Amino acid sequence: MIPLIFFGVMIVLFWLLIIQPQRRRRSIQQQLLMDLHPGDEVMTVGGLFGTVQEVADNHVVLEIAPETQVRLAKSAVTARSEHELEPAETAETPLP
């Protein structure tokens, strides 16, 4: 009887610690992909930042630099940027 209780507790722990968080992450990712619109700043799986130019059923077109666009699988988009990308400071700042 005790081994059955132990086995049941292990199944519940497995469910709570592994399966449930994966479902939550998958749901959040699917919602992000459904809410993509042109003009959104996003980050890809590879760490590439860009602006969404076009959204299709299974791919997106990102502008990663002026006049430079790439086509990626929609599933490669992992996050939406919370703020506008700030231009890097110029290296011409005088040294003391």
Q: How far apart are CA 30 and CA 6, in angstroms?
A: 35
Going edge to edge, which strands form the sheet with 41-44?
68-73, 59-65, 49-55, 41-44, 77-80
Contact yes or no for 76/68 (Cβ under 8 A): no
What pLDDT is attached to residue 38? 93
Task: Establish if 85 belongs to a structural domain.
Answer: no
Question: What per-residue confidence (pLDDT) applies to 17?
Answer: 87
Other Cβ atoms less than 10 A from the Cβ of 42: the count is 20
State residue 16's pLDDT score. Answer: 85
Mean pLDDT in order along the chain per 10 residues (96 residues): 87 87 90 90 92 93 94 92 54 53
pLDDT at residue 90 in the model: 45
In a domain, 90, yes or no: no
How many domains does the structure of the chain reveal? 1
- Tell me the CATH number at 19: 2.30.30
Note whether residue 87 is domain-resident. Answer: no
Strands 49-55 and 68-73 turn out to be unpaired
Domain of 7 in residue numbering reads as: 2-80
Residue 57: inside a domain: yes
